[in-house]
Structure 1
């Protein structure tokens, strides 16, 4: 009886791990798309709204869901904090570094977002728009790659989780 319960627990945990990995493959393109939309909103705020950067980041952050919401709101909070005198670049990089572990995105997206952060708040409005559009374009390429990976690996992860759990049970007993 104890062996049976242990076997079921091993199979269930393997299956849950497989489903978790599959959800990461499914969430990655969604989060990239949400980040693209957030950058487009930032572009609109800068170009047409003439909104200060900290206010624009906070406003966009309120419109998003976690984990992307945390990146934008943390960057805005650090920019408006009276006690710290950080640049837009430093606040953006800190927010990305702190909140990145909660996303399903990979290092390639992080590099694009970091590169975008280097130019944040350092140039005039037209130059900022060019950098935002460049980041959007790069993220669109990453989104296409993420959708391709999702199509390939999502179903496989679910199956492998169950099969790995079953293999462990067979090897143990």
Structure 2
């Protein structure tokens, strides 16, 4: 009987610790994804401005060159654009980003910035697109600083909270 209590206690503590780690890791994942987005948008800028590639080809190249943890969005946008001739770039961005928003761990503000990228691509000349891309990168850098601050503040909190809640449950139950 005593061994069952010990095993049950360990299972409670381990599972609550894993839940706390899962909640805490969302903060570091958001930071990692914002950094990846900045990199991908810079690649996209090069593809459009300097290589003069059409958007579907530029999206494919960004997918191949960018970090796979985030660049798959550009591959999916490309596919969606090619499969749906009646959809424009903005609609493609909205659809793909909303479809993947949970997996990306991005906030509403991050998503709005990313969707605003879709609103300018293919609708203006290169210099205007370059200006907008620079603004979007700066906005993402602000979001990156915010993500870093939140990660510092909350990641360790959730991890410790998971352990403490597990210990509290064990104490209450036994």
TM-score, L = length of structure 2: 0.91
Which residue in the other structure is 2:60 paired with?
A: 58
After superposition, residues 8-27 of structure 1 pair within 5 angstroms as 8-27=10-29
Using the size of structure 1 for normalisation, the TM-score is 0.91
Corresponding residue for residue 2 of structure 1 = 4
Match of 1:146 in 2: 147
2:173 is aligned to 172
2:43–2:66 Cα contact (<8 Å) kept:
no
Kindly state the Cα deviation for residue 172 of structure 1 after the two structures are TM-superposed: 2.3
Aligned to 1:132: 133
| CA positional deviation for 1:66 | 4.0
Count of aligned pairs between the two proteins: 172
Counterpart CA distance in 2 for 1:165 and 1:101 is 26
Question: How far did residue 70 of structure 1 move?
Answer: 2.3
Query: For 1:102-137, what per-residue CA distance to the aligned partner results, in whole angstroms no more than 9, with x for missing partners?
Result: 112222211111222222221121111111111101
Tell whether the 8 Å contact from 1:15 to 1:161 is kept in structure 2 after alignment.
Answer: yes
Partner of residue 48, structure 1: 50
Q: Distance in 2 between matches of 1:162 and 1:152?
A: 17
Structure 1: gaps of 5 or more residues:
none
- Structure 2 counterpart SS, 1:105: coil
| Mean CA deviation greater in 117-126 or 8-17 | 117-126
**8 A contact 1:70–1:99 mirrored in 2:** no
- Residue range with higher mean Cα deviation, 40-49 or 96-105: 96-105
Tell me, yes or no, if the aligned pair for 1:18 and 1:161 is still in contact at 8 Å. yes
Rounded to whole Å, the distance in 2 between the matches of 1:108 and 1:2 is 48
| Counterpart contact for 1:67–1:99, Cα < 8 Å | no
SS at match of 1:45: helix
Displaced runs of 4 or more, over 3 A: none
Aligned runs of 1:13-162 on 2, under 5 Å? 13-81=15-83, 84-162=85-163
Corresponding residue SS for 2:72:
helix
For 1:135 and 1:30, the matched residues in 2 are separated by: 17
Range with greater deviation from structure 2 (21-30 or 134-143): 21-30
